[in-house]
Structure 1
Amino acid sequence: MMGERRVAQEALFYEFSLERHVPTEHWVRAIDRFVDLSDIRAHLRPFYSEIGRPSIDPELMIRMLLIGYCFGIRSERRLCEEVHLNLAYRWFCRLGLEGDVPDHSTFSKNRHGRFRDSDLLRELFETTVRRCIAEGLVGGEGFAVDASLIKADANKQCSAEASEPVDWDDLARTRRSVREYLDTLDEAAWGAASETRPKFVSRSDPAAQWTGALKGHAFFAYATNYLIDLDHAVIVDVEASRAIRQAEVGSARTMLDRTLERFGLWPARLAADSAYGSAENLAWLVHERGIEPHIPVFDKSQRSDGTFSRSDFAYDHARDLYTCPGGKELRQRQKVYRTERPLVDENGLMRYHASKFACDACSLKPQCCPITPARKILRSIHEGARDMARDIAQTDAYVVSRRERKKVEMLFAHLKRILRLDRLRLRGPNGARDEFHLAAAAQNLRKLAKLLPNGTQVRAA
C-alpha cells in the first residue's frame, strides 16, 4: 500500500537544541576544546574606537576563519555560505539558529586593518603552540626545519622581465602588494636575501619569486617555513619568505631565535636537509647556538673525474696543513711574498698549496692534478662545524633524526592535499604571512584533537 504524501506544515512552537544536534564525535567538538579566544577582546581593544556603532564580534570572525582553514574551505564567500547552512559550524561559531553570518567583505576590511596592525593571527598561532606545550606534546629536545613552495596568486602574463624598467612607485599608489614589496626590500627574508634577480617579476605581486625548483613549469611562489618538534610533529613556528635557499636558511635562524624568546624552547639537535648544510649555517648552529646539526654537509669538493678529492687528503689540526696520498704537505704559505697576502678570502675560504717541485716529481700527479702545476685545497674557516656535522652523520642518532625529519614533509603534504593550501588567495608578504599563520594554527588544533580525543574516536567532518 502506497503511503500518503507528506506535506511540511508550519508549527507554532519548535523544540530544537543545537547542542544536542552536533554529534559528540564531530571534529568541531574536538577542536573547540582547544580554542581559547578569551583574550582576543583585550588584545584588539586599542584598535577599536570608543564611540560609534558596535562592530562585528572579532571572536566570530576568528572562529569562522578557523573553520575555513581546518576544513579546507578556501573561499571566504563560500565560508559564509557554509557557516550559514551547517549547524555544526554554527555551533562552533556560537551563532545559534538565528544568528546572522557576516558578509564576506568584512574579513578583508579587518585583515588589512586591525588584524595586521595588532598581529592578531600571529598571536592566534602562538596560542595553539602554548596549548600544545601545556598538554605535553612538545618535548623541546629535537627540532626539524624545512620549507615548501606555495604558488602565489600571480601569473606570467602579468609580469615583466628582470631587465625591463618598471615604475614601482607608480604601481604602489594603487596596489597594496607592491607597497609591501617595496617595504621589504631590505629584509633578510625578502629583498636582501639574494642579489640575484629572477627572470620575471610579477607586476601584481612582485614579492613572489619566479622559480622552477619543482623541475616542471616555472611559476611565481612563496615559501612557507616550518619549525617542528619531533616528538609529535607540533609546529612551534612558521615563517613566510622568498622561495630561494638563502631566504629559507635565514628564516630558520629567525624561527629558532623567536622560539627561544617566546616559549623558552632550546633544542639540543636540529634535523634538516642539505639546503641548510652550508658552512656558515652549520657554524652558526654549533658555535653561536650550541645545537647539534643533524644535517648533511653541503659539499661540492667530491670529484667525479677519477682524480683525488679533498676527502683523500688528511688534515693535521696541530700543524695546520694537509697531507696528500703521496705523503707531500700542502700549506697556506709555500713562499714568502714581498706584500703579505690575506690567508682568508672574501668568501671565508683558505687555500692550501703543494710545492710545484714536489708535484712534478710525484708519480701520483696524473691522479691528483693532471692539468695544473700543483695541487690546491680549499678549506672553509667554518670547517670545524662541518667536521662535527660529518661525525654526527655516522651515529645512530643521526639515522633516527633523518627518519623523523619526514614528519615535516608530511605536514606540508597535509597542508596542500587536505587543507587545500596549494595556492595563495592573498597577495604580498603580509597576505602570505596571514595564510601561513592560520594554516599552521589549524594544523596544530587538528593535532591536539587527534592526539587528545577525550575518550572518543574523532571522525572527519
Structure 2
Amino acid sequence: MKKVDQTVDFSFIQEIVQESYCVYYGRPANEPELLLRLLFLQTLYDLSDERMIAEAQVNLAYKWFLGLNPEDSLPDSSQLSRFRRHRLGAGNVEKVMEAIVKQCVEKRLIRSKAIIIDSTHTHMNASKQTPLEVLQKAAIRLVRSVKKSYSKLYASLPKKPKLENLTEEEQALSALSYLAELGEYIENRLPDAEGSMKEKLTIAKQIVEDERLLSKKGIKSAVDPDARFGWKSRSKNFMGYKNHFAMTEEEIITKITVTPGNEDDGKQLKGLLEGSKEFMEIEEILADTAYSSKDNLKLIHGQEMKASIPLNPVVYGLKEEDPFQYDKESDKVMCPAGHWSIRKAKTGKKNSQRNQRYKFYFDTSLCQKCPMKEGCYTGTKQKTYSISIKSKEHLDQMAYLETEEYHQRKKIRLRIEHKNAEMKRFHGLTTAKYRGLFGMQIQLGLTAFVVNVKRMIKLQEPAT
C-alpha cells in the first residue's frame, strides 16, 4: 500500500468525474478519490463489493491507504456499484487507465517505440439457455418488473400462451410472438420508462430482433444478451466477451476495447493503434496471426511501421464488409446465419498465375432451412466459401518474416501472454463480474488500471 500511495497520484479522478456531481444540491457526496482507492483495492485483491467494505473496516493498512482514521466509517457497499456505473461508466473508467499511462510517460517509464496487441476471452456471468428459455426468462423479468411498480398495468398485460402439444420450434415461435407483443404493449403505455424497467424493455427488444436466436446461434441469456459464442482453440469454445488491448514493451497497457465473443480480433488493430499513438511514438507492432489481414498490413506499412506479425494464409482474404467471418482458433468460417463450416480443402495449382484458394464447405441441410438463405444459398448440392491465399502485402510480409530481425523481435510478443495470465489469475478476468458489454468494459478498464499501477511501481524500483 505504501508503494502505491507514494508512486501514484490519484487526484486525477476529481477532474474526470466532476461533471457527474452537483455542487449546489443534495448531501455532500463521498470523495471520488476515496471511492477510486476502494475500487483499486477491490480489483487488486479480486473482492466483492460487500467483502471489500467489510475488510476495509477492520484492516488498518487499508484505512491508512484510504486516508481514514481507525474509527472512521466507510461508505455503504452499494456506493461502489453506483460510483462504477454512474460516475465512471465505460468512458470514464478508460480515462482512469489512461491517466496512469500519462503518469508513466511523465516519469519516462515508457521508452520503447513498439506495441504488442492481443486479446483474451472472458466467460459470461450467466448460464447458457435455449432460445425458448431465453424468451420465457425475458418475458418473466418484464412481467415481474411491471407487477412490482405498476399494479394496474399488470392486470391488463397480454396473457402467456399455452405451449402444450406444440413442437419445440412452434413453442419458440409462440414465445417469440408473446415477448414481442408484451414488450410493445408495455412500451406504448410506459413511453417514459426509466431505470430497471427501461433496461428490461431494451433487452426484450434486443432478443426479439435477434435473427440468429431461433437457429440457436444468437443470444444465449436473457440477463446477459450481449455475450456471444466464440472460440479459444479448434476444440474449445466459450460464451462471453473478448478483451482486446495494446501494451508497450515495458508491459504498460495503453489502449483497451471490449467486444462480444464472436468478433474478429484483427478488426480491432486500427483502434488500438490510434489510441496508443496518443501516448507514444510507434515504429513497430507485434501481434499474432489474427492481425495479419491485408488491410492491417497496408495500414501499418502505410505509416512506415514494421509489422512483426506472422502470416496465416486464410486471415487476409476476408474483407471488412464481408458477412462471412474466419476464426483462426477453430480454423473455420462462420456464415451470416451463424453456422460454421464443416471442412476445408485447398484448390488450385502451385506456381500458377492464379492464386491458390482455401475452400470451406457448409452443411447444406442447415442451409435449406436457414431463414437467411435468400441471396446466399441457391439449392445446390454444395455450399462453399473460398478465400484467396496471396496478396502483394503478404508477399512483402513473407520476405520480412524470413529475416533475422523478425526472429529476434517475435520473442517480445510473448510478454503479452504473461499479462493475460496476470489479469485472469489474480484479478478475476476469467469470468465477467458484471453483466452486459457495458459492465465488461468497466471490469477490463479497472483491471488494466490496476496492472498498470503494479507495473509502474516495478519499473521505478532500482535494478538489482
- The normalised TM-score by structure 1 is 0.67
Q: Which residue of 1 aligns with 2:313?
A: 299
Q: Which residue of 1 aligns with 2:402?
A: 394
Mapping of 1:423-438 within 5 angstroms? 423-438=431-446
From 277, 282, 290, the counterpart of 2:304 = 290
Q: Which residue of 2 aligns with 1:249?
A: 266
Query: For residues 448 and 454 of structure 1, what CA distance do their matches in structure 2 show?
Result: 12
Q: Which digits, 9 at most, give the CA deviation of each residue in 1:55-99, with x for residues without a partner?
A: 1111111000001112232x1111111111211111111112122
Query: For residues 443 and 60 of structure 1, what CA distance do their matches in structure 2 show?
Result: 19
Query: For residues 47 and 378 of structure 1, what CA distance do their matches in structure 2 show?
Result: 50
The answer on whether the counterparts of 1:224 and 1:239 sit within 8 Å (CA) in structure 2 is yes
Q: Which residue of 2 aligns with 1:135?
A: 107
Q: Which residue of 2 aligns with 1:108?
A: 81
Mapping of 1:326-405 within 5 angstroms? 383-405=391-413
Q: Which residue of 1 aligns with 2:251?
A: 233
Q: CA deviation at 1:425?
A: 1.2
Q: CA deviation at 1:198?
A: 2.9
Q: Which residue of 2 aligns with 1:203?
A: 222
Query: For residues 294 and 103 of structure 2, what CA distance do their matches in structure 1 show?
Result: 36
Change (3 A) 1:396 1:45: same
Query: For residues 411 and 98 of structure 2, what CA distance do their matches in structure 1 show?
Result: 27
Query: For residues 35 and 49 of structure 2, what CA distance do their matches in structure 1 show?
Result: 11
Query: For residues 208 and 305 of structure 1, what CA distance do their matches in structure 2 show?
Result: 32
Change (3 A) 1:114 1:181: farther
Query: For residues 112 and 378 of structure 1, what CA distance do their matches in structure 2 show?
Result: 43
- Secondary structure in 1 aligned to 2:38? helix
Q: Which residue of 2 aligns with 1:318?
A: none
- Secondary structure in 2 aligned to 1:241? strand
Q: Which residue of 2 aligns with 1:87?
A: 60
Letter of the structure 2 residue corresponding to residue 272 of structure 1: A
Query: For residues 112 and 307 of structure 1, what CA distance do their matches in structure 2 show?
Result: 52
Change (3 A) 1:213 1:103: same
- Given the alignment of the two structures, is residue 40 of structure 1 paired with residue 21 of structure 2, yes or no? no
The answer on whether the counterparts of 1:277 and 1:296 sit within 8 Å (CA) in structure 2 is yes
Query: For residues 387 and 349 of structure 2, what CA distance do their matches in structure 1 show?
Result: 11
Change (3 A) 1:306 1:452: closer
Q: Which residue of 2 aligns with 1:224?
A: 243
Q: Which residue of 2 aligns with 1:23?
A: none
Q: Which digits, 9 at most, give the CA deviation of each residue in 1:266-291, with x for residues without a partner?
A: 4211111111112232223223x332
The answer on whether the counterparts of 1:145 and 1:227 sit within 8 Å (CA) in structure 2 is yes
Q: Which digits, 9 at most, give the CA deviation of each residue in 1:181-212, with x for residues without a partner?
A: 989xxxxxxx9xxxx98355321111111234
Higher-Rg structure is: 1
The answer on whether the counterparts of 2:230 and 2:261 sit within 8 Å (CA) in structure 1 is yes
Q: Which residue of 2 aligns with 1:272?
A: 287
The answer on whether the counterparts of 2:219 and 2:227 sit within 8 Å (CA) in structure 1 is no
Q: Which residue of 2 aligns with 1:335?
A: none
The answer on whether the counterparts of 1:80 and 1:104 sit within 8 Å (CA) in structure 2 is yes
Query: For residues 72 and 52 of structure 2, what CA distance do their matches in structure 1 show?
Result: 15
Q: Whose helix fraction is larger, Structure 1's or Structure 2's?
A: 2
Q: Which residue of 1 aligns with 2:420?
A: 412
Aligned CA RMSD, in angstroms, stands at 3.7
Query: For residues 237 and 77 of structure 2, what CA distance do their matches in structure 1 show?
Result: 32
Letter of the structure 2 residue corresponding to residue 259 of structure 1: S
Q: Which digits, 9 at most, give the CA deviation of each residue in 1:402-421, with x for residues without a partner?
A: 21111111101011112232
Mapping of 1:149-168 within 5 angstroms? 149-157=121-129, 166=176, 167=179
The answer on whether the counterparts of 2:266 and 2:293 sit within 8 Å (CA) in structure 1 is no
Q: Which digits, 9 at most, give the CA deviation of each residue in 1:420-439, with x for residues without a partner?
A: 32111111111111110100
From 8, 25, 45, the counterpart of 1:71 = 45
Q: Which digits, 9 at most, give the CA deviation of each residue in 1:432-456, with x for residues without a partner?
A: 111101000100100112222369x
Q: Which residue of 2 aligns with 1:362?
A: none
Q: CA deviation at 1:34?
A: 2.8
- Secondary structure in 2 aligned to 1:418? helix
Letter of the structure 2 residue corresponding to residue 441 of structure 1: F
Query: For residues 283 and 10 of structure 2, what CA distance do their matches in structure 1 show?
Result: 33
Query: For residues 212 and 44 of structure 1, what CA distance do their matches in structure 2 show?
Result: 37
The sequence identity of aligned pairs, in percent, is 21
Question: What are the ranges of 5 or more consecutive residues in structure 1 without an aligned counterpart?
Answer: 1-27, 184-190, 314-320, 325-376
Q: Which residue of 1 aligns with 2:161?
A: none
Change (3 A) 1:225 1:307: closer
- Given the alignment of the two structures, is residue 61 of structure 1 paired with residue 32 of structure 2, yes or no? no
Query: For residues 7 and 201 of structure 2, what CA distance do their matches in structure 1 show?
Result: 37
Letter of the structure 1 residue corresponding to residue 54 of structure 2: E
The answer on whether the counterparts of 1:177 and 1:205 sit within 8 Å (CA) in structure 2 is no
Query: For residues 182 and 398 of structure 1, what CA distance do their matches in structure 2 show?
Result: 49
The answer on whether the counterparts of 2:291 and 2:309 sit within 8 Å (CA) in structure 1 is yes
- Secondary structure in 1 aligned to 2:427? coil
The answer on whether the counterparts of 2:254 and 2:275 sit within 8 Å (CA) in structure 1 is no
Query: For residues 391 and 95 of structure 2, what CA distance do their matches in structure 1 show?
Result: 39
- Of the structure 1 ranges 196-205 and 103-112, higher mean CA displacement relative to structure 2 is found in 196-205
- Secondary structure in 1 aligned to 2:73? coil
- The normalised TM-score by structure 2 is 0.67
Letter of the structure 1 residue corresponding to residue 27 of structure 2: R
Letter of the structure 1 residue corresponding to residue 29 of structure 2: S
The answer on whether the counterparts of 1:226 and 1:408 sit within 8 Å (CA) in structure 2 is no
Letter of the structure 1 residue corresponding to residue 109 of structure 2: L
